[in-house]
Structure 1
């Protein structure tokens, strides 16, 4: 049995092109300067309540999203964003660390190279497809290895200088100076644009058979929770939204906490994190304490940090189960296994929007329940399925399996898979339907 094929839109929601889903339209906002003030975040929360369903999100790539808009409320929301003084990023997606230029650990400041690429694509950016993206990773405390990209540029040390490792599609990396890296990136993007808006870097010669731009190791990168030193003796404090989402009043409360702690600004970051920057040591502690009181993640070992969950049903029309509603229970049930070696993905359908890369355990919505994929992507789900209301008990049984001495959570799951115990657990709960090994 295979899952019912979900509708593939070929794009993501954007500021100028919101996307329809089960709970209305989603508008995605990436501040052009990556930072917004506490006042601006409060204003955005008010607008999300006035024009949407008050639900807001931070995505895995560090974008803000407002949910529940209607065709009539999109323009008022966009006007509200501009009235707040927030300049949205439009056109080509170029991702850099939210701490670029502030991070003493970075090999190079990614902003000048990103600016060269943006200026260089001004004449043909409209010919690129909406999913074409560039990553410029300065090699600092917050890496972007989990981001898929058509063009990936990573700063590396070369003697006393910094150079850029440039990878196009799945090709071999080249070590280049900054201007050379910009030229190489612009040449690739121009060739992609010439192929049409459906083209990606993997359509270029020599890139067709390998993943997009060496998109990391397939796992979830470290979530940037906690305190990070900045230049001039200041700090950033990263806190996580529970599974990337919260009501507008939570965002407003975090803005208040940032103000009280003395933050300069707030920056959405990779892995659904919100960073308050410009804090002193005492302010960083105060902001983290208030975020923790509000139910947010503040430590990298929080079990919720290892779980990605899409909104699920009914918010998404493609979803077969309420993934985000179940996520907290899954975190509790699997806590004994979530030791930093295990990643978990609750995917309402086979698309895998919340975590496109393979996870250690992926639970995929299918027509009749939830399927399990071990060390794979949601698209690999076949069966059997268990009933949605049987998930928590099934996972509790799984987590109760004794570890061997020194065995990690991931090692335990690999051993169970090899012995057929994972398949057997789902098979028993799935009424003896045969399972296709993943």
Structure 2
């Protein structure tokens, strides 16, 4: 059996256009400058409690979300955000590293290029669809390789100067100077706008996916947990929200910890991370320890860092199972395999909102349980499915499979597939009973 097709709305929740789901309306907030103060985060937590259901999230692309709003509480929440002095990003999503301009490892500062694109596209910005996006990766410590983009620009070393590798849709990258890269990006966005609000870069001639043209995405996406050196001898410390979500009180407590540690500001980051910046070495350590006591992720090898989970039921109207509730048990069960080579996606429907690229293992909600996709998109799920309540125990059995010397978790899964499992991966109960196949 295939999963029931979920509702596809062609948009995401936004500051001016919250989206209805199972637990009310979701409002998404991206600070225009990428940073907010500890006091502003505390104020946002208070507003989320007063006007929503006191649940907040950081998304895979580094946006803040407030859940559980009602029609009559949207405007008060928006007013509260503005009263806190937070300027929301509106219009086209142009994503850059939250550490742009501070990161001592970056090849180029992405901010001037992002600023030029935003300013010069003003004449046609309202003709672009809500899903159109630009990613500008300066080549620093935080990779944006895991983010989908219609226009992707990545800084490259080229002699004494930096150049920008520009990929349009799924096409072949071009290496250009910064002015030429900006011109190409703007021309592309203009051409997309001319096709209408449902258009994407892959609709342009010559910009469909090209086999083998993924060289501009060869920097492995990573979860920015831990300490990162910044300019002037300061540091940023990244901590992760457990599966991207937490009560408003958790966000308020993190704001308190950042302030006590001497942080200059807080920055939502990719892979559901919150960065405190402007810390000295002792302050970075203090913030990490405080976050750990609050139950947050503080190191890249935390098993939870390799598991993405959507909110699931009942928070999402499309969901078939409570993905986020199951996530801690799944992370614990699969911990022996989560060595940095395996990613796991709990997708309560076939949309795959929580993980934009294929994961090593994806567990997709269906009418009769959970189906598995190995190295593929959630939309590829097929039955049979297993009941929700046996998943964690079955995964613990899978994770206990003996590995060859030096074999990675991903290698083990690939070996299991090659050993006569051409259709995908089987999970077994005991030694020989097939339980799940894709």
Give matches, 1:265-344, under 5 Å: 265-344=265-344
Q: What is the aligned partner in structure 2 of residue 15 from structure 1?
A: 15
| Mapped partners of 1:236, 1:175: distance in 2 | 31
Partner residue in 2 for 1:387: 387
Deviations 1:97-119 (CA, angstroms, capped at 9, x unpaired):
00000011110100000000000
Any stretches of 5+ residues in structure 1 without a counterpart? Answer: none
Tell me the equivalent position of 2:399.
399
Deviation of 1:418 after TM superposition, in Å, equals: 2.0
Q: 1:155 to 1:316 in 2, by over 3 A?
A: same
Q: 1-side partners of 2:434 and 2:139: how far apart?
A: 49
CA contact (8 A) 1:145 1:215 kept: no
Residue 56 of structure 1 and its aligned partner are, at CA, apart by: 0.3
- Secondary structure of the corresponding residue to residue 385 of structure 1: coil
Counterpart check, 1:366 vs 2:363: no
SS at match of 1:72: helix
- The aligned residue for residue 234 of structure 2 is 234
TM-score, normalized by length of structure 2? Answer: 0.96
C-alpha distance after superposition, 1:229-272 (max 9, x if no partner):
00000000000000000000000000000000000000000000
- Is it true that 1:37 corresponds to 2:45 in the alignment? no
CA distance in 1: counterparts of 2:436 and 2:325, whole angstroms:
28
**Distance (whole Å) between structure 1 residues aligned to residue 124 and residue 92 of structure 2:** 10
Distance in 1 between residues matched to 2:172 and 2:123, nearest whole Å = 27
Per the alignment, residue 70 of structure 2 pairs with: 70
Deviation at 1:207, TM superposition (A): 1.3
The CA deviation at 1:336 is: 0.5
Structure 1: which 4+ aligned runs deviate by more than 4 Å? 213-220, 420-424, 426-429, 431-435
1:400/1:433 Cα in 2 relative to 1: closer, same or farther (>3 Å)? closer
Q: Distance in 2 between matches of 1:316 and 1:419?
A: 38
Contact kept in structure 2, 1:98 and 1:267, CA below 8 Å: yes
2:427 to 425, 428, 436: 425
Distance 1:14 1:41 in 2: 18
Name the CA distance, whole Å, in 2 between partners of 1:114 and 1:135: 9
**8 Å Cα contact 2:167-2:216 kept in structure 1:** no
How far off its partner does 1:202 sit?
Answer: 0.2
**1:89 — aligned with what?**
89
Deviation at 1:356, TM superposition (A): 2.2
1:208 CA drift (Å): 2.6
Change (3 A) 1:216 1:391: farther
- Residues 328-337 or 419-428, more deviating: 419-428
- The question of whether the paired residues in 1 share the 8 Å contact of 2:386 and 2:435 is answered with no
In 2, are the aligned partners of 1:147 and 1:215 still within 8 Å (CA)? no
Please tell me whether the aligned partners of residues 173 and 216 of structure 2 are also in contact (alpha carbons under 8 angstroms). Answer: no
1:158-184 Cα deviation digits (max 9, x unpaired): 111111111111121111111111111
Structure 2's unaligned 5+ residue stretches are: none
Residues in 2 aligned to 1:101 and 1:387: alpha-carbon distance in whole angstroms: 49
Query: Closer, same or farther in 2 for the Cα pair 1:17/1:426, shift >3 Å?
Result: farther
Task: Tell whether the 8 Å contact from 2:372 to 2:436 is kept in structure 1 after alignment.
Answer: no
1:424 deviates by 4.2
Task: Provide TM-score, normalisation by structure 1.
Answer: 0.96
Q: Give the aligned partner of residue 352 of structure 1.
A: 352
- C-alpha contact (below 8 Å) 1:58/1:244 kept by paired residues: yes
Offset, 1:433: 8.4
